[in-house]
Amino acid sequence: MSLFDGVAGVLADVFGAPVIYTPKTGEAVQVQATLRHEPTEVVGDDGRVTLITSPTLRVSRAVLANPLPGDVVALAATPEDAFEVLNKIHSGSPAADAVWVCELAPYRPPGGGA
């Protein structure tokens, strides 16, 4: 057990919001996560800092085990404003409940709808 275990969940509970996560295959689930539109810095497993300027989803690995490109996320309060996962970065934290940081782009439904 690490000193940091449990911190990601507490932060998501305090600063996060209900998010609807829809994998490319499977059922949508509601999770507690943080969806940001502002640029954010992420420290990867290699210790290097990466600046992500597109929207991001920060979610505990204990809550969402394997987010994949093409999955869709939206705040439960505004599901019409959906985003597609482009890629994911492990936060580099040693904690068991470390977070994924997913880089997002506006979702374009198949068939060209808005």
Q: What is the pLDDT at residue 33? A: 94
Q: Determine the pLDDT at residue 2.
A: 45
Integer Cα distance of 60 and 15 in angstroms: 13
pLDDT of the residue at 53: 93
CA distance 53 to 42: 11
CA 37 – CA 28 distance, rounded (Å): 22
Provide the whole-model pTM: 0.79
Q: What pLDDT, on the 0 to 100 scale, is given for residue 8?
A: 44
Gap between the Cα atoms of 86 and 69, Å rounded: 5
User: Class for domain 7-106, per CATH?
Assistant: mainly beta
- Tell me, what's the pLDDT at 110? 82
Pick the more confident residue, 16 or 101: 101
Give per-residue pLDDT as tens, 82-96.
999 999 987 666 666
Q: Over the stretch 17-59, which tens digit does the pLDDT of each residue have? A: 999 999 999 899 999 999 999 998 888 767 788 899 999 999 9
Rg of the chain taking only CA atoms, in angstroms: 14
Domain residue spans of the chain = 7-106
Query: Is the separation of the CB atoms in 49 and 94 below 8 Å?
Result: no
Residue 13 pLDDT grade (very low, low, confident, very high; cuts 50, 70, 90):
low
Within 10 A of 102 (CB to CB), how many other CB atoms are there?
27
pLDDT at residue 4 in the model: 44
